[in-house]
Amino acid sequence: MAEELVIQGSALGKQFGENVIAVEDANFTIPRGSFISLVGPSGCGKSTLLRLISGLIEKSGGDLLVRNAEVVGPRSDIGMMFQKAVLLDWRTSIENVLLPDEIRGTIDTDAKKRAWDHLQLVGLKDFEFSFPRQLSGGMQQRVALARLLQTGADIMLLDEPFGALDEFTRERLNDELLRIVEGPDITTIFVTHNIQEAIYLADQVFVMTPRPGRIAAQIEIDLPTPRNIDMTTTPEFNDYVQQVRDVLAGHLDGQPL
């Protein structure tokens, strides 16, 4: 069976103002159901590429297709999550999760039931009526994840979603994220600057390099699924880490930091 492509970019570029080239000549195809990590140093255009796909910003050149249609703006089959949870402080968890339905005018008993279930799924049983300021950073991100699930989007764009959390919480949430998005339906693009995390999560890692922002390499990660934390010490895993480092080193040599 031929893989169904959900996102395609060719010669995709984004320029800000006269001379800031954030993304240049990006060529990639993303099959449905896959998990892609975008890894690279700060300022390499990872977030810009993510925002191009989300339709939040307009490309300056090239082609970008989602489900064979040019991206012209935000779409309901694409959902986003940010480094900050971006919860509304005056709303309880469940009210935050219901925000997408409120905006689309689709609030009904069914939507409420799904919101409830999503909160259970992300491990927030008994915190349905807590306000964001009563929750820890990790729990706030769980609410944000439940809200993302509530959108019903099957393309999930995650911009360093657990980057501000401590190492232990981050590892746990990564595993839970994998459990939630596994399967043939949900396509995930995950931005990070942590090489191990990028490899651990992904089917494919896009390594990006700055000035101008380019996809320098696309590396298939052929590790067994489901992943578990013990794999991170295997020689295969470390080979991948080395590959990514080599790509980055090759491009960063001689560049001012």
Partner 1 sequence: MSDIGSDGVLAGVKELSPIQKLAMHGLVFLIIFGGWEVGARLGYVNELILPAPTSIAYRLYEMFFVTGSIYWHYIITMYEATMGFIIGVSIGMGLAITAAISPVFRRYWAPYAVVFNVTPGIAVTPFIIAWFGFGWSSKIALAALVCFFPPFINTLTGLLHIDKDATELFRSLGSTKKQFFWKCQIPSALPIIIAGLKLAMTGALIGTIVAQFFSASEGVGILMQRFAFRLNMDGSFAALIVMSLMGLSLFTLMEYMDYKVLYWRRHSRMEEVGSKRKRKWLAENGDFSA
Nearer to partner 1, 94 or 199 (CB): 94
Interface ranges with partner 1 (CB under 8 A): 51, 54-56, 74, 76, 78-80, 82-84, 86, 88-90, 92, 94-95, 99-100, 102-104, 109, 112-113, 116-117, 120, 125, 128-134, 151
Nearer to partner 1, 104 or 179 (CB): 104
Nearer to partner 1, 124 or 180 (CB): 124
Nearer to partner 1, 53 or 205 (CB): 53
How near is the Cβ of 99 to partner 1 at its closest, in Å? 7
Nearer to partner 1, 105 or 256 (CB): 105
How near is the Cβ of 36 to partner 1 at its closest, in Å? 18
The answer for residues whose C-beta is within 8 angstroms of residue 203's C-beta and 6 or more apart is 34, 35, 36, 220, 221
How near is the Cβ of 76 to partner 1 at its closest, in Å? 6
* Measured CA distances, 37 to 43, 46, 92, 156 (Å): 16, 10, 31, 12
How near is the Cβ of 201 to partner 1 at its closest, in Å? 22
Backbone phi, then psi, for 156, in 5-degree steps? -115, 125
How near is the Cβ of 132 to partner 1 at its closest, in Å? 8
The answer for residues whose C-beta is within 8 angstroms of residue 66's C-beta and 6 or more apart is 6, 7, 53, 75, 77, 78, 155
Nearer to partner 1, 7 or 195 (CB): 7
How near is the Cβ of 229 to partner 1 at its closest, in Å? 30
How near is the Cβ of 139 to partner 1 at its closest, in Å? 14
Angle at 160 between CA 41 and CA 14, to 5 degrees: 60
Nearer to partner 1, 33 or 132 (CB): 132
CA–CA dist 102, 243 (Å, integer) = 45
